Amino acid sequence: MVHVASIVPISLTVGANRIVPAVAIPYPLGNPALPEDEERELRLKLVKKALRALQTEVEKQTVFEE
């Protein structure tokens, strides 16, 4: 499981082991300031990062920043 979370400290507190920081609380996988196609690109990128985290062996809580 990978947690795409807006508030990483909370994700850490609750024990998630694979964490991907999300964009913002009201739009964790989006950005309404961007034009539609760019926003979809951003979302795709974030989801790909989440999938990479799933494919990564971890021994402790890991935040996948960049």
Partner 1 sequence: MAEKKYRVVHYLNQFYAGIGGEEKANIPPLIKEGAVGPGRPLQQALGEEGEIVATVVCGDSYFAENIEAAAETVVEPVSRYKPDVFVAGPAFNAGRYGIACGASCSAVSKKLGIPVITAMYKENPALELYRKEVYIIPTANSVRGMAEAIPKMAGFVRKLGLRQEIGLPEADGYFPRGIRVNRFVSRTGAERAVDMLLSKLRGEPFQTEYLMPTFDRVLPSPMVKELQSATIALVTSGGIVPLGNPDRIEAASASKFAEYNIAGVYDLTPDAFQTCHGGYDPVYANNDPDRVLPLDAMRALEKDGTIGKLYDHYYVTVGNATSVANAQKFGKVIAEKLKAADVDGVILTST
Report the C-alpha gap between 64 and 42 in whole angstroms. Answer: 16
Q: Do 55 and 29 touch, CB atoms closer than 8 A?
A: no
> How many positions of this chain bind partner 1 (CB under 8 A)?
38
Q: Does 2 bind partner 1 (CB under 8 A)?
A: yes
* Cα 41–Cα 53–Cα 26 angle in degrees, nearest 5: 50
For residues 26 to 55, the per-residue mask of contacts with partner 1, x marking binding by CB under 8 A and - elsewhere, is xxxxx-x-------x--xx-xxx-xx--xx
| Residue ranges in contact with partner 1 by CB under 8 A | 1-7, 10-11, 13-18, 22, 25-30, 32, 40, 43-44, 46-48, 50-51, 54-60
